[in-house]
Amino acid sequence: MSPTKPFRETLELAAEAGTDFSGVLCGRATWQDGIPVFGSEGLGALEAWLEDRGVKNINLLNEVLAKGAKPWYTIYGGRENIDVIDPVPAVA
């Protein structure tokens, strides 16, 4: 089974459950199935796979994120509740 489908289904479940998440790190889930293509058919075939299936994988995940992911600042009650501070004090 492609790693993209269970990864996508897990995100859909999280969204349905109301879990707060802002985004994902999903590299391997989007390109892993291209490795056998590279191994058996070479670089050109991998590039073609990435341009087709790889892009489709990313778009499918983006659809799930659009339905369930929330901006990172919502955990703080919105941007207006975030104070930006200078982490390095000025040297006199």
In a domain, 18, yes or no: yes
In a domain, 59, yes or no: yes
The count of other CB atoms within 10 Å of the CB of residue 35 is 12
In a domain, 86, yes or no: no
Per the CB < 8 A criterion, the answer to whether 45 and 57 are in contact is no
In a domain, 58, yes or no: yes
In a domain, 91, yes or no: no
pLDDT tens-digit series, residues 58-81: 999 999 999 889 988 888 899 899
Count of domains observed in the chain? 1
How far apart are alpha carbons 69 and 31 in whole angstroms?
Answer: 22
Domain of residue 21 covers: 4-77
Q: Dihedral angle at the C-alpha atoms of 18, 75, 67, 60, nearest 10 degrees?
A: -110
Q: What is the pTM of this model?
A: 0.73
In a domain, 9, yes or no: yes
pLDDT class of 1 with cuts at 50, 70, 90 = low
In a domain, 15, yes or no: yes
